[in-house]
Amino acid sequence: MRERPPGLESSMTLANKSRTLNRTFLFMARKPHPERRSAGKIRPSPLATLAAALILLSLLLVNRMTAGILIPLAVDQLVESSEIVVFGSVQSKVCLVDELGRLYTKVEIQVAETWKGAHPEGTPITVVHGGGSLGNRRLVVSGQVNYQVGERVVAFLRTNPRGEAVTIAMCQGRFEVFQDPASIELYVRNTFHGGSPASGSNVTHRFPTQLPITLKELRRQVQVPKK
């Protein structure tokens, strides 16, 4: 049985809570006020309407906090959490439907270098993640990784109980590899780490995590011996 994609269960839970809240709200809103029975009209109680609105707002805020915020991980945390780290190029990407009718995406990365783990260099590795687009169906998972065919990446991976490779920490486990036109040097960046090469104040005025990181430096950080 395929696992639910990250973030999907929390979204389904919120949907169930919202349906329950809607039924409760309708019941509370239609309950006639004693003083209005004589008028022959049923009007929503202002107190019930306010209470229902506050409950709905709190549910929306909780869902935004739990599903919409990624906690930044340092590179050494990504390394520690991963079983396999590879550098390669994305060869293919396809959205499929599992046995339960849920959308998931399968990505094939042609591995040029294996920095951690035992995956053979020069062979492809298949990575899966929840969500995707297929025909008129679309499933978006907040914070999910997004590989693009043709790009070069460094992928921090683990294997799930079915033996499939999945990306560590969702979008944080994918580093885009790009080339600086001026120096021809290869650099990397992900959601929180790395930035475009620059000089002078453009570099010194950045946050430390936004400083440029070369591919060589990231490889060194991954392969540094444990103390």
For residue 48, the Cα-to-chain-centroid distance in whole angstroms is: 37
Give pLDDT, residue 63.
40
Residue 196 corresponds to which tokens in the numbers above? Answer: 């475009």
pLDDT of residue 14: 42
Cα distance between residue 192 and residue 181, in whole Å: 23
Q: Which among 86, 78, 136, 141 is positioned nearest to 108, based on CA atoms?
A: 86
Confidence of residue 209 (pLDDT cuts 50, 70, 90): confident
Give yes or no for residue 126 having a pLDDT over 60: yes
CA distance linking residue 162 with residue 83, whole number of Å:
15
Q: Mean pLDDT, to the nearest integer, of 123-129?
A: 97
pLDDT of residue 150: 97
The model's pLDDT over 130-169, given as tens digits with 9 standing for 90+, comes to: 999 999 999 998 899 999 999 999 999 999 988 899 999 9
For the four alpha carbons of 83, 89, 91 and 96, in that order, the dihedral sign comes to positive
Dihedral, CA of residue 117, residue 120, residue 124 and residue 129, to nearest 10: -10
Give the per-residue pLDDT at 170. 93
What pLDDT digit, counting tens, does each position of 49-103 carry? Answer: 766 666 655 544 444 333 457 789 999 999 999 999 999 999 999 999 999 999 9
Place of tokens 């620059």: 198
Share of the chain above pLDDT 90, in %: 55
Model confidence pLDDT, tens digit, residues 181-205:
988 999 999 999 998 886 544 555 5
- Distance CA(58)–CA(53), nearest Å, equals 9
What's the confidence (pLDDT) of residue 224?
A: 86
pLDDT at residue 158 in the model: 97
- For 38-63, what is each residue's pLDDT tens digit? 455 556 666 767 666 666 555 444 44
Beta bridge partners of 133: 138
Whether the per-residue pLDDT at 8 is higher than 80: the answer is: no
DSSP the chain: -PPPPTTHHHHHHHHHHHHHHHHHHHHHHHSPPGGGGGGT-----HHHHHHHHHHHHHHHHHHHHHHS-PPP--HHHHHHH-SEEEEEEEEEEEEEE-TTS-EEEEEEEEEEEEEES-PPTTSEEEEEEE-EEETTEEE--TT-----TT-EEEEEEEE-TTS-EEETTGGGGEEEEEE-TTT--EEEE-SSS------THHHHTS-GGGS-EEHHHHHHHHHPPP-
As a whole number of angstroms, the distance between CA 192 and CA 198 comes to: 17
Mean pLDDT within 26-49? 53
pTM: 0.68
Rounded CA gap, 167 and 174, in Å?
7
**What integer best gives the mean pLDDT of the chain?**
79
Q: What is the pLDDT of residue 57?
A: 52
The alpha carbon of residue 139 and the mean position of all alpha carbons in its chain are separated, in whole angstroms, by: 12
